[in-house]
Amino acid sequence: MDLKGKKVIVAGFGLSGKSLCKVLTMFGAIIFVYDSKSKEELKDDISEFKDSDITFCFKDVTDEFLEGAQMVIVSPGIPIDSEIVTKAKVKGIEVIGEVEFAYRLSKAPIYAITGTNGKTTTTSLLGEIFKNSGVRTYVAGNIGYPLVEAAVKAGNDDVIVAEISSFQLETIKEFRPVISAIINITPDHLNRHKTLENYINIKGRIFENQSFNEYTVLNYDDKNISSLFDRAKCKVFPFSMEKILYRGTYVENGKIVISSNGEKNTIIDINDIYIPGNHNVENAMVASTMAFLAGIDVNIINTTLKTFKGVEHRIEFVRSINGVKYYNDSKGTNPDAAIKAIEAMKGPIILIAGGYDKGVSFDEFTSSFNGRVRKLILLGETRDLIYKSAVKNGFSREDITVVNSLDDAVYAAYKMSMPGDNVLLSPACASWDMFKNFEERGKLFKDTVNSLRG
């Protein structure tokens, strides 16, 4: 890609935006950066590039700012109906996302995973399987390591395993993984995508450029994915927790089985999977299937599933204090993810929930409390919404505590806990009302828990 001396605009100066600037500098591009935040808010990020010749824009997007641009590369946080995207398209400037740009740069094959829940765990697990097979592997994308950085480092003989979000899929054009997967789809990000149908269609874009000799792995049990099966031009390899499939991945007699080309391959007894919970059986099925289709030996897949310990901030055990276990599930950023965390707990739960409002219903979430959640602690933008939903579903007002900070939530949980309880941070919401990201929220939770006296 020849970008030397050409003007490229980077929209959004977060993690992806900064990585784009580093890579574009390597290619000798003339870099302009737009962000809706103020110069003061971004001063620390800007200081990282004090020796680079970058022009910044923090206000309204002018014609002069866009003039002569070869392309606009948008970070995932920039909506496709934003001012800069709309004006660039009117001027005929190509608008792509960081994932699309990374794909155009990449020499290595990309294995791409999306879904509402389980993306990070499945991506990390598949990456571990590839590493254990002896292949140099880059785990990147929405997982926290920008895909564009992996793309410039990975060679022809390497592999990139990428977590891809719906925000990233909005701006692809040619992006084409060798194997893709959609784990599940439940309502999420409707404040941005407006309707569930639109959200489903965007998720389906992950396989839209794949050809007839490539694979997409799709959830046979998920009604929201069923409409996508006939849309794929590539081979669909289904997986199911509920049904034995003639061709696909399924659970039979407590074991994960992959049936392909008339042969049944037993991968693992689900009780031998290190990370607990039915949702992790689903994640293991997806990672196993993608690895199997990529030609990785079944024994390597089995060994990895027995030893992989999961990812930070996803039902992560923090410590036990006076017979009470504390779990960090800050990555539970929507109701369905939080329900899975609740179902994974053994024993009564003191649940800490609430955060940024993404426009979804909490009724199914609060319905899952019955017989599991003993006390509910609420904070953040959605605390009133969750409170009303919980009461509507029969949860006692006396068992709900409303607090103003995560520190206060942890201390409240500590005071009301009894031996045998599980204190679970699983917000069912994004973190952006109070934190930069779910990692910052999870770290504060762990730091606060670790400061408690045993």
Residue ranges of the binding site for ATP: 115-121
Going by the annotation, the residues of the binding site are 115-121
Q: Can you tell me the distance from the alpha carbon of 236 to that of 55, in angstroms, rounded to the nearest whole number?
A: 46
Residues 6+ apart with CB under 8 A from 421: 323, 324, 325, 347, 348, 349, 350, 374
- The contacts found for 67-71 with CB under 8 angstroms, 24 or more apart, are 68/7, 69/7, 69/8, 69/9, 69/32, 69/93, 70/3, 70/6, 70/7, 70/8, 70/29, 70/94, 71/8, 71/9, 71/95, 71/96
**Do 267 and 276 form a contact (C-beta atoms < 8 A)?**
no
Q: Is 237 exposed, middle or buried (0-12, 13-18, 19+ CB in 10 A)?
A: buried
* Backbone phi and psi for residue 75, each to the nearest 5 degrees, phi listed first: -75, 160
